Amino acid sequence: MKAPLSWLNDFVDIDLSIPGLARLITMAGMEVEAIQIIGLPMPAPGSVDAHVSGLEWDREKIVVASILEVMPHPNADRLVLCKLFDGQQEHIVLTGAPNLFEYKGKGPLAKPLMVAYAKEGARIYDGHQDGQVLTTLKRAKIRGVESYSMVCSEKELGISDEHEGILLLGEDAPPAGTPLADYLGDAVLDVKLLPSYARCASMLGLAREIAAMTGKSLTTPNVERYTSPAGDFAEIEITNPDLNPRFVLGLIKRIEIRPSPEWVQRRLKLAGMRPINNIVDATNYAMLELGEPLHAFDYDVLVKRAQGKKVKIITRTARPGEKLTTLDNIERTLDESTVLVCDTAGALSIAGVMGGLESEVSDKTVNVLLEGAAWNFINIRKTARAQQLPSEASYRFSRGVHPAMAERGVRRCLDLIQAWAGGTAAPGLVDNYPLPPASPTIELTASDVKRWLGIDLEIGQIKSMLERLEFHCLLTTDQCLQVTAPDHRLDIGEGVTGKADLVEEIARVYGYENIPETRLSDLLPPQLGNPELDKEERIRDLLVYQGLTEIVSYRWTTPERESRRLLPTAPPDDKPYLRIANPLAYEKGFLRHSVLASVLDTAERNARVRERIALFEIGPQFLASEDSHGLPDELQRLAIVLSGPRTLPGWQPADLAPMDFYDLKGVLTALLDGLRLPEVRVEPGEHPSFHPGKCAKILSGEKQIGVFGELHPEVRARYDWPASFRTPVLAADLDLAALLSLIPAIRTTNPVPTLPPVLEDLAVVVDESVPAERVETLIRQTGGRIVADASLFDVYRGEKVGAGKKSLAYSITYQAIDKTLSDKDVAGFRARILRRLEQELGAKLRA
Amino acid sequence: MLEQLKEIERTALAALEAVQDEAALETWRVAYLGRSSPLMQVFSKLGALAKEERPVVGQAANEVKKALEAAFGSRSEMLRQAALARALSEERLDVTLPGRPIARGRLHPDTQILRELYRVFAEMGFQVYRSREVESDEYNFQLLNFPVGHPARDMQDTYFIEAEGRGDNPIVLRTHTSPGQIRAMREMAALNPQNPPPVRIILPGMVYRYEQVDARHETQFDQLEGLAVGPGITFSDLKGTLTDMARRLFGPQARTRFRASFFPFTEPSAEFDIECFQCGGKGCDVCGSGWLEIGGSGMVHPVVLQNGGYDPARYTGFAFGFGVQRIAMLKYGIPDIRYFWENDLRFLEQF
Ligand SMILES: [Zn+2]
């Protein structure tokens, strides 16, 4: 909402600087987003948060002046020469302003025209350039006439975009020579109102807050006229009071349509509204002033439509498909939730949102019927959205306007019309008020304030703070306040909610900055921590230790994009996606099914800037679910992607061989080892993302924790890698929740042996089909606690072992905790191990 | 004989003076201390000497041997030192050449800032509570005192998930982590419904707003909320807690500012700002007028307490929330919020 300072000053005496006022309003809960300066001194940089624009008028060089005579230009038809008095001397000033042409050659004017005059050296906006371009007035010869000063348009002064003619000052203009800033100087605050501040969506509402915060008194417009008796010029039927709690009509006859006074038009423009005529302007002015949107009907149109009967206003919801042409000349199709203001002949306007074309005030209007009403704010919000009709009226009604304002608005507007358009108001109003809002009484004590805010206030202080905001307070004998909200606000609840609402008002008046800062001293809850998170962070650390970089991706994708992670010939991922109903773009329209797909996408993008990729992500993937009240499953996954050289190239020889399956397996082994996972094993796997011979699954018991391997060449080819990026892509996809569930909370640590171990190499020949892991497992199982370590150090295939065979060589550490092992002890274990390997795997000791 | 020994010693020591390397030293050792050296010959001839002469010559020969051995030892050490000095002077590296590159892993800056926040709040007794990202309208809005159709919903532009027949309770991407407030309070209250235990948690996680993306606005971002509920929690505690946080994050001189505001789930509500650490509050390009807008806060609305299972007549609470990326951008000087989820390694490798 745009609030001109001069208008606020009608209701409260503001003696703050502009930055001071902006800060006060902001601290009270209404953010001042922008300030437009009109002629007044510009705030110092850094003194306000708001965006500041506008032009400061030099008090010496931009002044009020009077044009005494308008003379033709000797060489140019489209220019005139003005004889002008600036309070000190006369000047001849050149202008092309068309609104002076009617005075051309009329000799000395009986009534001088009061204008804004800029002298040589004044800084103003260039009227002939688009936007606001500053210029300084310099001496120049235009068509043979010397020019050094000018009469200004609104655009040149930064008041508006108006540049058709020069600004002609109103009847109330001060004498020539007065600094223009003293007459027209102003500042327009653009205030952002949060939903609970609907009461401030008017000059009076904002002024009331300023008065309360500064302790000044508030002057309210007199709206006590036209009270009785009840008018008989119309009747009102409200079909649904929930949607329309009140409807008020006033009538004014024999008005004369004409432009509003200059100052009214100026105020409306500063507040962001376009002046139309004195009637429409009066409704807008009253709305901006009080916050109650009003609507003016051409009464004679309604009388005609009533076909001789009394005008009857009916409010009801639209019939399905009902149509109405609104005053923007658009025929609108309405739905059943739209509330209409109708008469017996049909719809007149969309309630609270926009008037209809047929009954609007026109140049021919003589009698005006004025509507002030209260509407259900949720319904108005819905209608304004459905019809895409944000308006000043719907802005206010969709936030909630107290029904008491309907009557006040009509009365105030009748006064304004009478002042600006003449006419006679019919005696009394027609008022149908079926549903006054609840006005709860809230009991508030000093200890309530203490309980919420932590400050000690006397009940008397509390009372006076609330009274500054026009709350009605009654102090009972037991130091309890009985508080009711004033009839311009709907945001105060009842019971304990009402108490909290009042406490906020007290905090605002007291000043948030005056409330002390204390450290929590309340009961501390049991400190149980978050073990799941701790484990997850441990996984991150273990992967980062190994040189992997963590990523965090957007959760959205497309099925097409994600399908690239699978073989083109594989059965498609046919689980339904969670689809965003209102995505920013199709590409952001689906919640991902695969964290691995996100990591692959990231790898693909980074392959353009890096040849080595080592990435992981921990996060959810989303699957539609019938469980948990229709909410989807959010499956936490860990995905890893590796590709590129094993080490980073430098200036010395390095291992630049591409990472392969076993690099990834090494990472996973180190991870599982770091988590101390018990009994996890790896078996050959099959998966539509992976190379059939280079794919494995990780199992704990029968539960699969994850799958990993080298991407299938056909899958790899579905990504857009740069030509230079040729290395195999390794990937792992793990069930994070399963992984976390296996991590033991408590672990054990083996004693460090003090006795010397016996180290021995053992090579066995087995069939190619025997998985190496089986051999190692059997060695360890058979050796029991004596085999402290068994690590594979060579795999050999070739003539020496025969076709279809492989030799696996292990370095075995025999270690007893309680004795030094003899050669004989070791020989016994070795024999047992070999026997077991032979029996179970057909292994032979390699000669 | 004694004369001969003296001669042997003199000749040997003189020869040793000329020895300049290990090979010559070995040759010298063989020549003067070896089995067939003149000195050893003396020892082997001792038996042939007269009985009285034997001890005298023997002792003298031993002394010569000791002297030669000592001279050998010191010469050997001298040569080793010389050789070492030579070697060291030859093995000079260009220490300015780069080290062998290590493929260092990185935590995402988001994780780094979250961990810092976890630490700060853990020390104040706040524990981490996480909950789902796809929520029902009921949890995301209604239970948090955003009635259906209420204009307060305009404050949080929402992504909806396509779903049939859910009426006024559509599925949404959570617009804040606040649905977790209800979930956490209900879990805690279930432990002892008559007398629910106090709550002190932070709620981190990804949230979503339907908003065009630019350098300062993301449509997906991390939020961190705090919630403290108990029999005696006040607004002044809220101010103190957030000021402590500001000091931990931005230094012991950091100051906070609280402005009145509106959020449906708090009453009273406040925006909180932190004094700009770039300019010390004087006003600069980063902050405008000296204050950095950080987040929202307030006393938990009685309706929300009630919905969480806590009697608002007996319990009060405070809640606050802010964008985690905003904090990271300020602390790490990150110029563009879009960097976070784009995951360009040229960005991530700076952490
Ligand atoms: Zn600053």
Quote the ipTM score.
0.90
pLDDT digits (tens, 9 = 90+) for B220-257: 999 999 999 999 999 999 999 999 999 999 999 999 99
B124 and B62 in a common domain: no
B141 and B231 in a common domain: yes
B45 and B188 in a common domain: no
Q: Hey, how many other C-beta atoms are within 10 angstroms of the C-beta on A107?
A: 9
Residues 278-307 of B with CB under 8 A from A: 282-284, 288-291, 299, 301-303
pLDDT band at A629 (very low <50, low <70, confident <90, very high): low
Residue numbers in B near A638 (CB within 8 A): none
Let me know if residue B341 belongs to a domain: yes
Residue B156 confidence (pLDDT) above 90:
no
Residue A738 confidence (pLDDT) above 70:
yes
Long-range contacts of B4-10 (CB under 8 A, 24+ apart): B4/B38, B4/B42, B5/B39, B5/B42, B5/B57, B5/B60, B5/B61, B5/B64, B6/B64, B8/B32, B8/B38, B8/B39, B8/B42, B8/B64, B9/B64, B9/B67, B9/B68
Residue A628 confidence (pLDDT) above 70:
no
What is the residue-averaged pLDDT of chain A? 93
- Write down the pLDDT at residue B287: 83
- Residue A635's H or E segment, with its range, is strand A633-643
pLDDT band at A227 (very low <50, low <70, confident <90, very high): low
B114 and B62 in a common domain: no
Query: Tokens for B156?
Result: 């949080």
Q: How far is the CA of B127 from the centre of ligand 1 (A)?
A: 32
Q: Please indicate if any CB of chain B lies within 8 Å of the CB of A593.
A: no
Residue B206 confidence (pLDDT) above 90:
yes
Q: Please indicate if any CB of chain B lies within 8 Å of the CB of A553.
A: yes
Q: Do A504 and B267 touch (CB under 8 A)?
A: yes
Query: Tokens for A547?
Result: 């040189």
Let me know if residue B332 belongs to a domain: yes
- The answer to whether the beta carbons of residues A433 and A246 sit under 8 Å apart is yes
Let me know if residue B259 belongs to a domain: yes
d(CA A359, nearest CA chain B) in Å: 30
Q: How far is the CA of B217 from the centre of ligand 1 (A)?
A: 20
- Write down the pLDDT at residue A303: 96
**For A726-822, where are the alpha helices, taking DSSP H only?**
736-742, 772-783
Q: Do B241 and A584 touch (CB under 8 A)?
A: no
Residue numbers in B near A602 (CB within 8 A): 343
Let me know if residue B100 belongs to a domain: no
User: CATH number of the domain that B317 lies in?
Assistant: 3.30.930.10
pLDDT digits (tens, 9 = 90+) for A229-272: 788 899 999 999 999 999 999 999 999 999 999 899 999 999 99
- Write down the pLDDT at residue B202: 98
Q: Please indicate if any CB of chain B lies within 8 Å of the CB of A144.
A: no
Residue numbers in A near B173 (CB within 8 A): 580
Task: Write the residue in B118, B124, B230 that is nearest to A523 by C-beta.
Answer: B230
Task: Write the residue in A508, A518, A544 that is nearest to B240 by C-beta.
Answer: A518
Q: What is the C-alpha separation between A241 and A754, in angstroms, rounded?
A: 91
Work out the average pLDDT over A156-182.
91
Residue numbers in B near A377 (CB within 8 A): 151
pLDDT digits (tens, 9 = 90+) for B250-309: 999 999 999 999 999 999 999 999 999 888 888 888 887 889 999 999 999 999 999 999
Residue numbers in A near B284 (CB within 8 A): 46
pLDDT digits (tens, 9 = 90+) for A564-612: 999 999 888 888 899 999 999 999 999 999 999 999 999 999 999 999 9
Q: What is the C-alpha separation between A160 and A171, in angstroms, rounded?
A: 20
B228 and B165 in a common domain: yes
B336 and B200 in a common domain: yes
Q: Do A454 and B235 touch (CB under 8 A)?
A: yes
Q: How far is the CA of A48 from the centre of ligand 1 (A)?
A: 12
pLDDT band at A654 (very low <50, low <70, confident <90, very high): confident
Q: Please indicate if any CB of chain B lies within 8 Å of the CB of A507.
A: yes
- Residue B63's H or E segment, with its range, is helix B53-90
Q: Do B299 and A652 touch (CB under 8 A)?
A: no
B164 and B54 in a common domain: no
Residue A223 confidence (pLDDT) above 80:
no
Residue numbers in A near B318 (CB within 8 A): none
B199 and B334 in a common domain: yes
Residue A228 confidence (pLDDT) above 70:
no
Q: Please indicate if any CB of chain A lies within 8 Å of the CB of B112.
A: no
d(CA A51, nearest CA chain B) in Å: 9
Tell me which of B55, B89, B123 is where a domain ends: B89
Let me know if residue B336 belongs to a domain: yes
Q: How many A-B residue pairs are in contact by the CB < 8 A criterion?
A: 287
Q: What is the C-alpha separation between A8 and A825, in angstroms, rounded?
A: 101
pLDDT digits (tens, 9 = 90+) for A313-339: 999 999 999 999 998 999 999 999 999
The two most distant CA atoms of chain B are separated, in Å, by 131
B148 and B296 in a common domain: yes
B219 and B75 in a common domain: no
d(CA B212, nearest CA chain A) in Å: 8
With tokens 């008017």, the residue in question is A202
Q: What is the C-alpha separation between A596 and A604, in angstroms, rounded?
A: 12
B262 and B190 in a common domain: yes
B268 cis-preceded (ω within 30 degrees of 0): yes
pLDDT digits (tens, 9 = 90+) for A517-531: 999 999 999 999 999
Range of the domain at B138: 109-348
The count of domains in chain B is 2
Residue A225 confidence (pLDDT) above 80:
no
B333 and B285 in a common domain: yes
Let me know if residue B102 belongs to a domain: no
Comparing CA positions, the residue from A828, A540, A38, A337 lying closest to residue B109 is A540
Task: Write the residue in A454, A529, A581 that is nearest to B234 by C-beta.
Answer: A454
pLDDT band at A627 (very low <50, low <70, confident <90, very high): low
Residue numbers in B near A33 (CB within 8 A): none
Core vs surface per residue A220-249: b (16+ CB within 10 A) or e = ebebeebeeeebebbebebeebebbbbbbb
Tell me which of B89, B118, B136 is where a domain ends: B89
Let me know if residue B97 belongs to a domain: no
3-state secondary structure of A443: strand
- Chain A residue with CA closest to B197: the answer is A525
Residue A794 confidence (pLDDT) above 60:
yes
What pTM, to 2 d.p., does this model score? 0.90
The pairing of beta strand A613-623 with beta strand A549-550 = parallel
Residue numbers in A near B111 (CB within 8 A): 537, 540, 550, 552
Q: How far is CA A658 from the centre of its chain?
A: 47
- Residue A342's H or E segment, with its range, is strand A339-343
Let me know if residue B304 belongs to a domain: yes
Q: What is the C-alpha separation between A485 and B281, in angstroms, rounded?
A: 38
Give Cα separations from B73 to B8, B43, B76 (angstroms).
18, 21, 5
Tell me which of B89, B122, B154 is where a domain ends: B89
Q: Do B198 and A549 touch (CB under 8 A)?
A: no
